[in-house]
Structure 1
């Protein structure tokens, strides 16, 4: 009979590491935001918080955030639900291809899309508006993109996949018995959809809608590109202005922490509501069984609806993407897209001659790789403690690990500014390290999700067998657990690398003179009026992102096949 092991061994070390990682990277910066918002000169002070919230700019930013996120949630939910129904429950032509195409906006940066639509629909210089006024003789622009409607339109294009993915999955798993019974009873397609299909997948619709609201509330790029010129700004944009335009004064930092607190509370309410919705939505009718829903015949609507889908994809994906590449090749912004006005010189200059843009590409790639590697390994450690170890307090670890998933990027950025700008003995502000720390915090939840799912599949008996054969705990982890969870680690790496590559909301608050990322460089070039160079760099960024996505899918597919 073996004696009970005492002392500080591998399990204790893993637990201590997990606690240390999450305390330093997540908990400490988050606590500082609340502390700075409510604590002044050593005293708890709510009166100043109320004063900040009563300022006109704060009040307006909050109203704008609620109005824009509400509008995007409604339109994105309608669009996502409609297309999900089309590709899963009807006889629409080329459904599999359409389903893949509707997911493309998910991997494209929304702020680059906003930049493209600015070039197409700005009132005076937009190519579409100019065509209608100069060629077709219209007196006024057909659409002004610098409006609430314009921002909602663009964000809807890039956020509707949240609903599309959730509703598609629910519709594919749904038992079609009730629909078939209604059809036998003489109900038409519209009645079946309205009274049976939609109510049954309502929890999935609401869950996706709340995710759209959460992300829209946190979006910086789209509102910054399309709204600032006409005085439309949301909370993340106001935080950016306070940090960058007020030279980091105490008043600006305090205002930013109060705004960040508002975002955190709003995000927490959204996530709580989503959990309640999902908890109530566990109907047996959408259990995980492998049903094959009946395909609804569109008949005379089949070709018109297919044409509508093709036009939507062309309008929301192909047109803005082509515009980015074409404007990036113009000798001067505003010239027609004629061959004599196009040149490769801008792309050559961006890639090989201009240090600012070349360094931004290098920074994004190295930051993406470093944050993905570090967060992947840190996620394995924390996930092992959460999934496999019987220790008190691991619920807190899970909460801290998942917290950044529901916290806007601007809040995370502000937290690391407060934590690592010298006040506590460590100053990494204006260096690449502070961006790296923020990325690790922001994407920790991605690593935990992927690694926890992989660890759930590893039976405890495998580790016990290794220990019984004489292996130490560390050897069992290295030789048994790590090889088995490697697919989860690979998934975690790529789930982090690609978002980090195109990230803007966090890095725009943290970059220094030599630490611009691709997203920040595109944004600042556009703000400086360098539209052609901004578009050229955006085009290069899109190529990097798409190539990365393709390589990842091939790598993951080949590993799964092996």
Structure 2
């Protein structure tokens, strides 16, 4: 019995039909919007026009946004790489106490929305009304604020708090699988801890460090939330926030769309360069650190530094995660923003009002949950179909699917949103603008790659002989898929569902570009309420969002353990 991939003739026309539908889905939802951005950036009235492209880029406002994006992304990347690498080294290569627990804690920022963290740090370190600045002024008699969060350093510091897990995860994986022979040899030769780390460990895991750093650069370049909350007030715009301001201030005029497409093109080119550099680094053969045997990494003794470093790690988590989270819930419970956190000033009335009475937030919660569910279900089933073609079928053209399937993963959310505006605003006969459907289309485009990754991994584990045995017994291809493949990949499908539902629940970058007054999502409602001066209402809704996210993550973890068990 053959164990190769399913052959081209595994069912008359079925493979070609699935391939056609799969390509059509990705072209309509992913490729077409991105191509429209590139076309509108370089073509005016059907004619190529690079002069206008150059003029838009060299306008002081847009040029400054480009510079700001590079400054913030560079500072965030450097800071996140240092923090992530240091903590990864601590929890994998030293005898730090409670290492597994600490590793779990360092992954917590990965699931929290950074724009909610930015909102919390705005309330803590705002020069005029920040709680920490007020504490220093009232307690120590400072004449003015000690900290100012509305700066490049402030924005980058907040992004570092939530993005360092990109490096942390990759470096942890590399360090845990690394052959410790070279480190042990250096130690026998008398090299100290610092020398071994600097000259052997770090160089060997440098590809993983650089890969994580490039992901952070890509994410930070395209990040809307933190810069919108902390930068716009002081005139600090990056590319996504400038696209948003241009389009919403002008009501979607041609000139604003034109400027947006030029800036979006810059993001696409930047993303392409970053992805290329990442692949180049990972494909190099100069750093072969994983051998054929199973190794137990060498554990370096911290001696007297064990508990001081443990305290430092706990203090870092408390300061960067617990403190801002506590502030969100406390401010959401006060009667008026600025009142001290005393029992007489705190209640649950704001949370009750947000959940059961205030129409804006009730609609936002409903929209986010329904959009998240719809996007997760659609992409889950579409992802299974497309992944099946990529993994199991031998048909011409499936390489196109692999490229289109990964395109949303490398294209920033603001680019997806702008492309969807161009594609579905009536120009081609279908007008979804200012409806909830245009947000759903954008979610499907943005999160398709998540579904493909999860379902492809599940399908890789289903041996081809099962399908071939079913076909040899007379079952049709559809019967084999229904009775054998789908039940076996169901855990991967459910994993894909949650991988899409939770990010969609807290999504802001795409939704802020596409929302109408009646189609706000949770992220948009939090942001717009804060911009309107409704600080207490925005933080109360942010607290509810955090509860939904944490509960959802707990359900995912419980389901994952159940499946693995």
**TM-score tier after normalising by the smaller chain length:** over 0.9
1:296-343, Cα deviation, whole Å (9 max, x unpaired): 111121121111111101000100000000000011001111111112
In structure 1, the partner of 2:495 is 491
1:426–1:183 distance in 2 versus 1, CA, 3 Å? same
- Write the deviation string for residues 435-465 of structure 1: whole angstroms up to 9, x where unpaired: 1110011011111111111111112221111
Higher relative contact order (CA 8 A, sep 6+): 2
**Structure 1 residue 290: Cα displacement:** 2.6
Q: Paired residue for 1:321, among 325, 333, 340?
A: 325
* Residue 228 (structure 2) aligns with: 224
Q: Distance in 1 between matches of 2:413 and 2:465?
A: 40
In 1: Cα distance, 2:306 partner to 2:285 partner:
32
* Cα distance change, pair 150–14 in 1 and its aligned pair in 2 (3 A): same
TM-score (norm 2): 0.97
Q: Where does 1:164-243 land on structure 2 (aligned, <5 Å)?
A: 164-243=168-247
Q: Give the structure-1-normalised TM-score.
A: 0.98
Match of 2:156 among 142, 149, 152: 152
Q: Give the 3-state SS of the residue equivalent to 1:471 in structure 2.
A: coil
Cα-Cα RMSD: 1.2
Counterpart in 1 of 2:477?
A: 473
Q: What residue is the counterpart of 2:112 in the other structure?
A: 108
Distance in 1, matches of 2:10 and 2:171, equals: 51
- 1:344 is matched with which residue? 348
Alignment of 1:100-499 (within 5 A): 100-280=104-284, 283-287=287-291, 289-499=293-503
Give the whole-Å Cα distance in 2 for the aligned partners of 1:466 and 1:303.
Answer: 59
Contact 2:11–2:476, Cα closer than 8 Å, also in 1: no
1:467–1:128 CA distance, 2 compared to 1 (3 A): same
Q: What displacement does 1:192 show?
A: 0.3
User: Which of these residues, 557, 560, 565, is aligned with residue 553 of structure 1?
Assistant: 557
The reply on whether 1:19 has 2:35 as its aligned counterpart is: no
Query: How far apart in 2 are the matches of 1:283 and 1:234?
Result: 36
The answer as to whether partners of 1:203 and 1:281 remain within 8 angstroms in 2 is no
Asked if 1 retains the 8 angstrom alpha-carbon contact of 2:16 and 2:395, the reply is no
How big is each residue's C-alpha offset from its partner over 1:521-551, in whole Å with a ceiling of 9 and x where there is no partner?
A: 0000000000000000000000000000001
- Partners in 1 of 2:264 and 2:193 — Cα distance? 47
Alpha-carbon distance in 2 for matches of 1:337, 1:6: 68
Question: CA separation in 1, counterparts of 2:58 and 2:374?
Answer: 42
Aligned to 1:83, which of 72, 83, 87? 87
Q: Offset at 1:559?
A: 2.2
Q: For residues 469-548 of structure 1, what are the structure 2 equivalents within 5 Å? A: 469-548=473-552
Runs of 4+ in structure 1 off by over 3 angstroms are 4-8, 281-284
Task: Count residues in correspondence.
Answer: 558
Instruction: Answer with 77-86 or 476-485: which moved more.
Output: 476-485
Residues 376-433 of structure 1: per-residue CA shift (max 9 Å, x gap): 1101111111111111221111111100101100000000100001111111111111
Inter-CA distance 5–395: structure 2 relative to 1 (3 Å threshold): closer
Give the Cα separation in 2 of the matches to 1:239 and 1:95: 43
> Which is further off, 72-81 or 386-395?
386-395
TM-aligned CA distance change 1:184 to 1:540, over 3 Å: same
* Runs of 5+ unmatched residues, structure 2: 1-7
Distance 1:528 1:440 in 2: 30
Q: CA deviation at 1:140?
A: 2.2
Q: Distance in 2 between matches of 1:447 and 1:166?
A: 21
Q: Is 501-510 or 336-345 further displaced after alignment?
A: 336-345
Unaligned runs of 5+ in 1: none
Q: How far 1:284 moved relative to its partner?
A: 3.2
